[in-house]
Amino acid sequence: MQATAYICLVVATLCWGGNAVAGKLALGHVSPMMLTFLRWFLAVVLIAAISLPQLRKDWPVVRKNLPLLFFYGVIGYTTFNAMLYSAVQYTTAINVAIEQAGIPMLIFLLNFVFFRTGVSLAQVVGFGMTLVGVALTAAHGDLETLLQLSLNRGDALMLIAVAAYAVYTIFLRWKPIVDWRTLMAIPALGAALTALPPLLWEASRGAAQWPDGEGWAIAFYTAIFASLLAQILYIRGVEEIGANRAGLFINLVPVFGTLLSVALLGETLQLFHMIALVLTLGGIAIAEKGRPKSAATTVAASPVD
């Protein structure tokens, strides 16, 4: 069971690592809010095409849980990705990837504050290291920047994205027991609908850009791999080993994102990036090794980049 969960989570984080790169590649080919809307619109169309009979079957359960399912779409899908695609306009794809390492730490914190989930000393130390790594990246290697409150705008947007996805993961503990296609389709529909107002706002500013050929390719990548495949695999991983431990794997996003950014975008890998990666991955390794052995999973049943 755990091996299956690990494979699911590794593949999901690989897809999400590519999502930050896709957002950077989209510049000049499709605007951020247009990409956010198209991503989830295409995901809804694709999932509905293969799951209408199942959606009808699950409708009684869906109807009772519609606000929660739409909440998943608003917070975990629309808010996270709108912030991410906006962030890459102001900061590097490497920074965006590494800053996502703050999600597991925030998941641990929220689980402890609201549900008193057990936390060991090793986990506190490990996530402290992760926090330093994220702060180092957000400050572009100069921690004094944080004291002066002069964060890059893109890095600030990513901190909002991190908070949104952590909240989404915590709320997965209450997801209804329905088929995975239904659990993907309804939040995706909610995401597509709630992505419309930001798109209209973008259009009102004259900033909306319809995708060209490359923009469409990026939109389909985000819909199929960073949305459908990654979200399904992530929720499967959360089902198997719980939100705290599954959230740890999000720290693979900066590894994959950094490598893909260097290989595909030609971005420069700087010393503070390497230090941040060592801190985040080392911290997560310490936290996983020193986790409370009796810690229970935080998700009761089966579905998010």
| Local confidence band at 292 (pLDDT 50, 70, 90 cut-offs) | low
Domain boundaries, position 191: 2-289
- Whole-Å CA distances, 272 to 1, 133, 268, 279: 37, 9, 11, 10
How many domains would you assign to the chain?
A: 1
pLDDT at position 63 is: 93
Q: Could you give the CA distance from residue 303 to residue 155 in angstroms, rounded to a whole number?
A: 29
Return the sign of the alpha-carbon dihedral for residues 148, 151, 153, 156.
negative
- Residue 285 inside a domain? The answer is yes
| Local confidence band at 175 (pLDDT 50, 70, 90 cut-offs) | confident
User: pLDDT higher for 33 or 137?
Assistant: 33
- Residue 303 inside a domain? The answer is no
- Residue 68 inside a domain? The answer is yes
Task: Give per-residue pLDDT as tens, 215-247.
Answer: 999 999 999 998 888 888 988 888 887 776 777
- Residue 301 inside a domain? The answer is no
| Local confidence band at 299 (pLDDT 50, 70, 90 cut-offs) | very low
**Average pLDDT over the chain, rounded to whole?**
81
Angle at alpha carbon of residue 137, lines to 276 and 264, rounded to 5°: 85
- Residue 281 inside a domain? The answer is yes
- Residue 304 inside a domain? The answer is no
Note if the pTM is more than 0.85.
Answer: no
Task: Give per-residue pLDDT as tens, 63-118.
Answer: 999 999 999 999 988 898 888 888 888 877 767 777 777 787 788 788 878 877 76
Q: Report, as an integer, the average pLDDT of 8-35.
A: 89
Task: Give per-residue pLDDT as tens, 240-283.
Answer: 877 767 777 777 777 787 778 888 888 777 887 788 778 877 87
Query: Tokens 């957000």 correspond to what residue?
Result: 138
- Residue 201 inside a domain? The answer is yes
- Residue 297 inside a domain? The answer is no
pLDDT at position 250 is: 75
